[in-house]
Structure 1
Amino acid sequence: MTDASPERSGGARRLWRRAALFAAAALLCGVLLGGLSAWFLGSVALAGLTAAAYSFNFHIPAALVRLFAVGRTAARYGERLSGHHAALSDQTTRRVALFRAMAAAPAVRSAGWQLADQARLADYLDDVEDLDFARLRADLPALLLAAGTAAALVATACIAPLALVPIAAWLAVLAVAARRLARRGALAWEQARALRRDGAQRFGAAMAAVVPLQAEGRWAGHCAEALGRFSRADEAERTLRLSQSGLDALASLLGPLAAVSVFAAAWHGGARAEALLVPAFLAFSWFALAEAAQGASRMVVATLRRRAAQAGIDRWTETRARSAAPARAPARLATLHSAAWQRRAPNGRPLGGPLALALRAGRPTILTGASGIGKTSLLKQIAGWTGQDVLESEAGPLAAADRRAASMFCPHDAAILADTVRANLFAPACPDEELWQALEAVELAERIRAAGGLDGWITQDMLSLGEAQRLNLARAWLSAKPLVLLDEPTEHLRADQGLRILGRLLERLQDRVVVLSSHGVEALPGAETIRL
């Protein structure tokens, strides 16, 4: 699931390698700083007791201590800058593919291009962030901590082998605690997510019905019930943080335990005076390494949040469905037909009896009927947005995925991106002359010139409903898809203006299969009307 170009992917890999090098340098400088400081202090103490104090050169170790201190600070800043740059670079490539997958999900196709479910969208955005930064928060620190621990264990085995027994035992305790945190934390985090989502939906429903709920005296109760979900979610997160603090407390004891074990093992092995300097170096290196281990709980939580996020995104985008055979979209269509087409609501519920459907290029089909009768649902079904029906064509049977790839669906509520007019026309390959021709056809050219031309910046709030609808129809004008579906194309337009624009558009699309739904337009020259 990636749209990354080779150059961009290579750049991200280079950034991650740079971040890993900075992180390794920070850890190495920290370990050397701790070990050398202990060795230096021990050497000064021993030299101070003898005549060697007069000839002891403390400048070199003192300079190294400063060097490692400055190096650790600089490497940490480098790790943060490179790591965040790498994570943000990943976002620019990953989010395009993730949002494309989300836009193709059946839940979104059934609702329209607008996502509608704000609580679910908020969860989705949080999930994307958890995926993007898990590598920075969990993978990289865990890898370096594992490498540093392995190196410290090897050094301990060479210098103070007996110390391995308590150190290994404590590492086993930490592993068990981490597994327990992962198991309990996954349950707590999933519970918190579910409660927060439920609370948001309940509160949103209450906010949408403030007046009737207040009139019935039920407003306070609904709000209290919704906010209670948020309180329970906070309680679940508090439980998770308490579990984290337990693991961090155990991790904080690793340094002192390892240091004491190394000293005790060296002393037991007969090391005295100068012979204790090397074990002292190792013991305080364990102290520095244990400092990094105190972030173990954050690594565990980042990992379980990534798993929950991936599961949520998989459910939202239905990746298993997308792994099916690629769509087979014909370049041209002359006919689409079905002898007994069962209309369905977006949730799959049957609507009415079977319908004989015969769509032909050059003969627009108008769907009419009362509001709520299912005109938009039928357009989405023809477009392949909902259901798994098959329509026959001169090129053979077309499944839902094939029709999605071959259709341009123009919803009645146009979504305007906060971007340039050029980007909002969805036709990057068209020359400027053709873009202006489309804007002239929908009687929007003068308004766009006043807004700054094709490269002028527009937002949803800058355009009226009628202007947004005309920009929507300009997209249909510029589309090269063989199947064009227009949902209430004259809505928000004056009757005479709507008929003029629609006439031009249908003349432009006379070689395509065109289906439109309408309340105000029930008959057009050469069109067939289906009353639902």
Structure 2
Amino acid sequence: MHTRPDTAPAAGARRADTSRAWTLAFALAALALAANLALAGTAVTFLAAVALAGAGPAAFAFNFHHPAALVRLFALLRTGARYGERMAGHRAALSDQVRRRAGLFAALARAPESRGAGWQLGRPERLADFIDDVADIDYARLRVGFPVALTGAALGLLTLLTAYLAPLALLPAAGLALAGTLLARRTLRRLAGIEAWTRNARRAAATHLGAALAGAVPLAAEGRRRAALRIALDPLRDAEREAADGRRALARFEALLALAGPGLALAVLLAAWSAGARGAGLLPAAFLAFAWLGLAEPLLSLARALPGSVRARLARQSLAIEPGCAAEPAPRPGPAPGALTLNGLHLWAPDGRDLGPLPDLAVVPGTPLTLVGASGCGKTTLLKALAGWNAERPGESIRLGGAVRPAAERRALTHLSLHDAAILSDTVRENLFAPGASDAMLWAALEAVELDARIRIGGGLDAWIAEGNLSLGEAQRLNLARACLSPAPILLLDEPAEHLRDDQAARILARLLARWRDRVVVLTSHRPDLGLPGRRVALGTA
């Protein structure tokens, strides 16, 4: 398969659209904050001016209309900008998520937890963790970036105005800033430790609870069901207790931030009064003081940004990616440059079991290799090694076209299709993982795996699907359609006939292998009676 020639411009256009959406959201958020500060300052200045005018004959000539119109204008601007910022911000975050989802899903696949797992990516708890991690990364800009940037800019502006109008107020401002910084660092460390511990505790509890529920009958017969459930549920109780400690630590930081606005407002008024400002001379200071009061709500968003930054950092660690860095080399599409040869490989199970040495093998383009063996004999482990998922060991050699290919290079040259296909809650188009493919190419791939009629009935390429919308056989065929669309020169298919009828599997694989005559193809199966095409090698035999 070949990608469309306009793939790079299309990707650039999508990035530009997302960037414009973020810029609009940030501009609206800044407008809402500026309107909020101006509203607070104008309102109090208006009231103070009314009070001063009422004390003398100027009350008869006082113009109420202009300041009242400004108050209404700023209130409307604040409300409209807030709604616009939320709509534009969430639209930008969702667009960013769609644009980066394929990369994030690849990050899940190459994460150490996934590569070293005994099972694959379709485990519900792993997918649930992945979805949470993706959401934490995608919305980090909304939860962390926006509050820090906007509140920081407002703090800088008000600090400059304070230095000009009431410089003595900078002393308590500096004290509050120092106390806030120290408490924020302490709270951040506390939240990071609690979040990491509770994540591990909840994952362990989910594993124990699943095992206890799966073995409920034998455990009850042995009188151990209550103890097993206690072992599973106690970590959840401890996790809730730790989470409550984190909320208390965050509440202390919020309390300090809540005092900052009123405290600085009072400090500005006292500093201006001590400097000799009286009557109308206090109006600029009153405007500034109530602008500090108007900053109270944005300041509280800094507290909400702390847990968001912690979760985003842990999510990046879980997915093994760094912000702003390309975690993997770019894929290298095209025909295979030669035979894939394996020399001196030794298989080890994820739990550390020695599965024995693997015979030296050579796979040439156009002649698929089928690895046959019982479950647990190392078929998937071998595919992961070929794909560069496992750590390289001394004495092992994997060559392509006569040249040794390190693990990172093999990851750019291979498409690994694990048998427990993960279905994202997204459109059919996004689930095919081929952003550069045309609609005609997508439909051709679906037709090749005999899934096109089902997708047309369901609403087409832009119909929304989720884990429970497809049967196991349909999910497997969607997985094969992803492989059909992949331009990688090496295709590794783990149990491609699983959940398919024998005749259907034979038809689909024959159709796909005819398209892959210039590729290196390795398949696995635990069913020795299944007549898959190509050369066969048995694993796990004495």
State TM-score, norm by structure 2.
Answer: 0.80
Taking the aligned partners of 1:382 and 1:72, their CA distance within structure 2 comes to: 57
1:396 and 2:400 matched: no
1:213 and 2:238 matched: no
1:331 partner letter:
P
1:345 and 2:319 matched: no
Matches within 5 A, 1:281-292: 281-292=287-298
- 2:149: which partner in 1? 143
Confirm or deny: 8 A CA contact 1:344 1:378 kept in the other structure: no
Confirm or deny: 8 A CA contact 1:260 1:283 kept in the other structure: yes
Q: What's the C-alpha RMSD, in Å, of the aligned pairs?
A: 4.2
Taking the aligned partners of 1:473 and 1:88, their CA distance within structure 2 comes to: 27
- 1:39: which partner in 2? 45
Matches within 5 A, 1:328-407: 331-332=335-336, 335-338=339-342, 340-346=344-350, 349-353=353-357, 355-360=359-364, 365-388=369-392, 389-407=396-414
CA displacement 1:96-140 (0-9 Å, x = unmatched): 211122234465456699514433332232222122222222222
Distance 1:287 1:487, change over 3 A: closer
- 2:285: which partner in 1? 279
Taking the aligned partners of 1:144 and 1:421, their CA distance within structure 2 comes to: 36
Q: Which moved more, 1:195-204 or 1:369-378?
A: 369-378
1:192 and 2:192 matched: no
Taking the aligned partners of 2:457 and 2:284, their CA distance within structure 1 comes to: 74
165, 170, 176: which one aligns with 1:170 = 176
Give 3-state SS (helix, strand or coil) of 2:404's partner: strand
CA displacement 1:25-67 (0-9 Å, x = unmatched): 2222222222222222222222222122222222222222222
Give 3-state SS (helix, strand or coil) of 1:57's partner: coil
Q: Which has the higher contact order (CA 8 A, sep 6+)?
A: 2
Confirm or deny: 8 A CA contact 1:329 1:402 kept in the other structure: no
Confirm or deny: 8 A CA contact 2:45 2:283 kept in the other structure: yes
Q: Which moved more, 1:341-350 or 1:217-226?
A: 341-350
1:304 and 2:310 matched: yes
Taking the aligned partners of 1:134 and 1:459, their CA distance within structure 2 comes to: 24
Taking the aligned partners of 1:269 and 1:351, their CA distance within structure 2 comes to: 83
Give 3-state SS (helix, strand or coil) of 1:373's partner: coil
- 2:263: which partner in 1? 257
1:185 partner letter:
L
- Offset at 1:157? 2.2
Taking the aligned partners of 1:467 and 1:255, their CA distance within structure 2 comes to: 58
Q: Which moved more, 1:336-345 or 1:517-526?
A: 517-526
- 1:126: which partner in 2? 132
- Offset at 1:196? 1.9
Q: Which moved more, 1:410-419 or 1:169-178?
A: 410-419
- 2:57: which partner in 1? 51
- 1:228: which partner in 2? 234
Taking the aligned partners of 1:3 and 1:506, their CA distance within structure 2 comes to: 31
- Offset at 1:495? 6.4
Taking the aligned partners of 1:257 and 1:84, their CA distance within structure 2 comes to: 34
Confirm or deny: 8 A CA contact 2:37 2:295 kept in the other structure: yes
Distance 1:312 1:44, change over 3 A: same
- Offset at 1:143? 2.0
Distance 1:276 1:193, change over 3 A: same
- 2:528: which partner in 1? 520
1:68 and 2:74 matched: yes
Q: Which moved more, 1:390-399 or 1:329-338?
A: 329-338
Distance 1:92 1:251, change over 3 A: same
Unaligned runs of 5+ in 2: 1-7
Taking the aligned partners of 1:320 and 1:42, their CA distance within structure 2 comes to: 50
- 2:3: which partner in 1? none
Distance 1:349 1:106, change over 3 A: farther
- 1:181: which partner in 2? 187
Give 3-state SS (helix, strand or coil) of 1:294's partner: helix
2:356 partner letter:
G
Confirm or deny: 8 A CA contact 1:341 1:357 kept in the other structure: no
- Offset at 1:408? 5.4
| Higher gyration radius (CA) | 1
Q: Which moved more, 1:454-463 or 1:356-365?
A: 454-463
Alignment identity in percent? 43
- 2:108: which partner in 1? 102
- Offset at 1:503? 7.0
1:10 and 2:16 matched: yes
- Offset at 1:218? 2.0
- Offset at 1:307? 2.1
Count of aligned positions = 525
Give 3-state SS (helix, strand or coil) of 1:228's partner: helix
- 1:159: which partner in 2? 165
Confirm or deny: 8 A CA contact 2:115 2:390 kept in the other structure: yes
Give 3-state SS (helix, strand or coil) of 1:115's partner: coil
Taking the aligned partners of 2:62 and 2:190, their CA distance within structure 1 comes to: 55
1:124 partner letter:
F
Taking the aligned partners of 1:93 and 1:421, their CA distance within structure 2 comes to: 13
Q: Which moved more, 1:65-74 or 1:510-519?
A: 510-519
Give 3-state SS (helix, strand or coil) of 2:348's partner: coil
Taking the aligned partners of 1:449 and 1:181, their CA distance within structure 2 comes to: 50
- Offset at 1:499? 6.7
State TM-score, norm by structure 1.
Answer: 0.82
Confirm or deny: 8 A CA contact 1:330 1:406 kept in the other structure: no
